[in-house]
Structure 1
């Protein structure tokens, strides 16, 4: 069957309408063009009159189709940044528009956008908590389980495990079919990314959480930063060398990430994640001035000015991001040790320069990812996910990275994508 231009236009219209219907910030409108209906939508978050439209025009390609379908954007507040956000939204819904849009070009646009973004300073933790769940919904759980004893252990040992916080239901787990889109900031090269981790991840906003029946888990994770601001004793730490950045303050330094801020990761049989840190040292910035056994590696005259305090002394090495506390809520009913998939936490690993250095050098504990278990740990600690051994089980977890934005000049994260065939999308 030969597809006519009308068939192609109608197919494109249907795909775009499905995208608009599933997106929380696209508001449908429509126009009629060339005898078939093509979709347009308003995007008030990007401007009072911001619109996006798929529209046909005569092709400029000699050997291509007689018609090209072009994505037009109008009246955006910040055209380049807003267009990047739009590409990211399109990529999230690529299954709906794959037959109508060049996915390779879309992947390139998404990577260009993500890698051009400044670090996210987050949202005010108290406001995020109140907006999501109200002030009292999880108050009793926080008071009884994430109590002073638990937080004292977190500060002393760098991690704390709390059982039976909020369990997921079998119904929720059956709804989960995590898309194979991935992000990593662990500093690994793209060629060996699939050797480094083999899990599948996606990021959820509250609309997604409602769809999967995970709204309580999502909202609870968003309460933690405010609770930690109120109850952690920041005076126990050395005075920070950098000033806090808004919306963080000296008294309440922790914030929640913006956007699709809760990650869901799933591991099938033989999946794993090698030792890594969620906030490792950043060797893209100031490669000299590395502390090694109390000495400085690299000649003093090779240190960049930004490595030094005003008095010429060395600043602490910069980390790769502002992640401060990693919060993981596990979702696996009836998980046994023989199923594998334990999180291996390497003790006293905050100052390790390279994650691989912990193997055979640091003691560790293995944490069973059982349903309802909450793990809080210093994001600088090295940890791994051991290989899943049970072919009939899928290991799932929700993760939120609570951040502490500071004026320390971090460059932001380094993104790549894992495509639907499991390959790495090059920048």
Structure 2
């Protein structure tokens, strides 16, 4: 399960911009120009809209305010939102019945793409004051996909407007868009293993560290741990300290996950002196494509999906695919899987890494399941110099857990190994395996790691991720 929170980063947004949505966002009813547009401001019908009811008393404001004051406040808030977004360009401002109307251009979404934020005349009270504002999207090249991206961008900057309007309609559209996305099929691993960052740079390291013995263990046991692959320098940690604007995310509740994460572009990695670590992770899929015997993990009955092929099935994530995560004192991540499962009888058989059938536990029969994504191998590169067992923060990997539907079921029932997150250590494991991050125990120490999910896209009926929204204070929203 994934979440969208205050700390949704530009890297996530950039990655999602590369996805062509196949689901339909709630296509809204058509309004005639004469109903909700005034003074000839618009010349075409809206493709989509969002409704923003005005709060009677804005959050944090104990004084009653007039509708006109609220209108001007909203216009200013919308202007600030536009100014903070690289996708939205202010185009005009006008006055409508004493209320401010704002609009902006969205050139990335079409040559004439426009967004207008204005009072909704059809909701005016007895004094002629609207009780709702409405946002219209016009002339988008790809109305459904682009409107979904607009909703993500508005939600990303929601702090500017949420104190004076309700954003429930925006939240609903964000969830509709995210939950309608197809799984990421990735990009060609050979493309991200070009001469600049690929085998020319890391060929000898890959051959020595990920040799035939290491790959045999990965295929047989579902994981392999390799020490001293690429270490992170102290100067990188100094650059990271206090300079990354990271926020809490991915918590269904505060007792589920408490780490902080961001997704790093190549430029981000270079800024923090992590370009070698970033690039090395992106070479792994190509190396595995050329050296893994995929038949040993059970010959797949499914057709590969482009850019994956039968011969080279593994791909890298689109956009900013390398995740940076840090855990401070008392932070942890409860047992979970990076490729969650749903019982779907008759779809796919659960099998161990060696192809042998397994079960969810000793008392259950074999249950077929459907995965929520195409993550195949989780690759984690740890960054922590001088990290000892007493510092906590070990990654706990539960063995023989590929088909566990409810992650907490592994506790007390499955054997596990604890992996110390020491600097330069590389961990590769089957993304279906249940794992956790144990609580960090040392005061003043920060546990850091880089993660890349190597993808194997196939026609195996994956459903896509399930997103929920998290309140700014960390609580799950009720929709």
Displacement, 1:254? 0.8
Following TM superposition, by how much is the alpha carbon of 1:134 offset from its aligned partner in structure 2, in angstroms?
6.1
Hey, what's the Cα distance between the residues in 2 that align with 1:245 and 1:336? 43
Q: Map of 1:305-324 to 2, 5 A cutoff? A: 317-324=369-376
The alpha carbon displacement at 1:152 in A equals 2.6
257, 264, 267: which is aligned to 2:324? 264
User: Hey, what does 2:232 align to over in structure 1?
Assistant: 167
Please list, as runs of the form range in 1=range in 2, the aligned pairs for 1:85-104 lying within 5 A after superposition.
85-95=149-159, 102-104=166-168
Q: Is the 8 A contact 1:181 1:419 kept in 2?
A: no
1:241-260 pair list within 5 angstroms: 241-260=301-320
RMSD: 3.7
Pick one of 231, 234, 238 that aligns with 2:298: 238
| 2:184 maps to 1:120 | yes
Match of 1:31 among 89, 92, 100: 92
| Residues 348 and 368, structure 2, Cα contact 8 Å, conserved in 1 | no
Does 1:12 find its partner at 2:78? yes
Give yes or no for contact 1:275–1:384 (8 Å, CA) kept in 2. Answer: yes
**Per-residue CA distance 1:39-63 (angstroms, 9 max, x = gap):** 624343x44x253434434553539
Distance in 2 separating the partners of 1:419 and 1:267: 21
**Cα separation, 1, equivalents of 2:316 and 2:326:** 23
- Contact 1:180–1:202 under 8 Å retained in 2: no
Does the 8 Å CA contact 1:178/1:266 hold for their aligned counterparts? no
- Superposition deviation, residue 367 in structure 1: 1.1
CA gap of 1:54–1:412, structure 2 versus 1, over 3 A, is same
Offset, 1:218: 3.3
User: How far did residue 379 of structure 1 move?
Assistant: 0.9
Query: Judging changes above 3 Å, is the alpha-carbon distance between structure 1 residues 61 and 160 closer, same or farther for their aligned structure 2 residues?
Result: farther
Distance (Å, rounded) in 2 between the aligned partners of 1:11 and 1:213: 37
Shift, 1:239, TM fit: 1.6
Check if 1:145 corresponds to 2:213: no
More off after superposition, 205-214 vs 289-298: 289-298
Structure-2-length-normalised TM-score: 0.71
Give the CA deviation at 1:403.
1.4
Matches of 2:256 and 2:287, distance apart in 1 = 34
What residue in structure 2 maps to residue 158 of structure 1? Answer: 222
Contact preservation (8 Å) 1:229, 1:253? yes
Shift of 1:383: 1.3
TM-score, length-scaled by structure 1: 0.78
What is the CA–CA distance in structure 2 between the aligned matches of 1:65 and 1:131, rounded to whole Å? 63
Q: Which moved more, 1:375-384 or 1:221-230?
A: 221-230
Cα shift readout 1:25-74 (whole Å, capped 9, x = no counterpart): x2746334349995624343x44x25343443455353997596644433
Query: Whole-Å Cα distance in 1 between the matches of residues 277 and 348 of structure 2?
Result: 42
Who is 2:118 aligned against? 56
Displacement after TM superposition at 1:194 (Å): 3.6
Distance 1:90 1:31 in 2: 18
Correspondence list, 1:335-346, <5 A:
335-346=387-398
Aligned to 1:224: 284
Q: Secondary structure at the match of 1:366?
A: strand
1:381 aligns with 2:441: no
Residues 124, 131 of structure 2: 8 Å contact kept: no
SS of the equivalent of 1:365 reads: strand
1:83 aligns with 2:144: no
Distance 2:273 2:388 in 1: 24
Structure 2 CA distance for partners of 1:250 and 1:82, relative to 1, 3 Å = same
With over 3 angstroms needed to count, the CA separation of the structure-2 counterparts of 1:224 and 1:57, relative to structure 1, is same
The alpha carbon displacement at 1:106 in A equals: 3.2
CA gap of 1:103–1:136, structure 2 versus 1, over 3 A, is farther
Give the Å deviation of 1:316.
5.1
| Structure 1 residue runs without a partner (length 5+) | 21-25, 184-189, 299-313
Distance 1:128 1:77 in 2: 29
| Structure 1 position 204, deviation (Å) | 4.0
Q: Between Structure 1 and Structure 2, how many residues are aligned? A: 397
Post-superposition Cα deviations, 1:92-134, rounded to whole Å, max 9, x if no partner, equal 3445665577554433322121112222222222223439846
Which residue of structure 1 aligns with residue 258 of structure 2?
Answer: 198
Q: Secondary structure, in 3 states, of the residue corresponding to 1:416? A: strand
1:23 equivalent in structure 2: none
| Residue of 347, 366, 370 corresponding to 2:399 | 347
1:201 offset after TM fit, Å?
A: 3.5
Pick the aligned partner of 1:179 from 221, 227, 247. 247
Distance 2:437 2:142 in 1: 40
Task: Please name the residue that 1:311 is paired with.
Answer: none
**3-state SS in 1 of match to 2:341:** coil
The 3 A distance-change label for structure 1 pair 252 and 15 is same
Mapped to 1, the partners of 2:165 and 2:250 lie a distance apart of 21
Query: In the alignment, is the contact (CA less than 8 A) between 2:379 and 2:428 conserved in 1?
Result: yes
Whichever of the two has the greater Rg, that structure is 2
Comparing 265-274 with 100-109, which one deviates more in the overlay?
A: 100-109
SS at match of 2:378: strand
Which whole-Å CA distance do the structure 1 matches of 2:367 and 2:120 have between them? 59
Are 2:174 and 1:110 aligned? yes
Q: 1:130 aligns with which of 194, 201, 209?
A: 194
C-alpha offsets along residues 117-165 of structure 1, whole Å, 9 cap, x if unaligned? 2222222222234398466344444334333333232222211222331
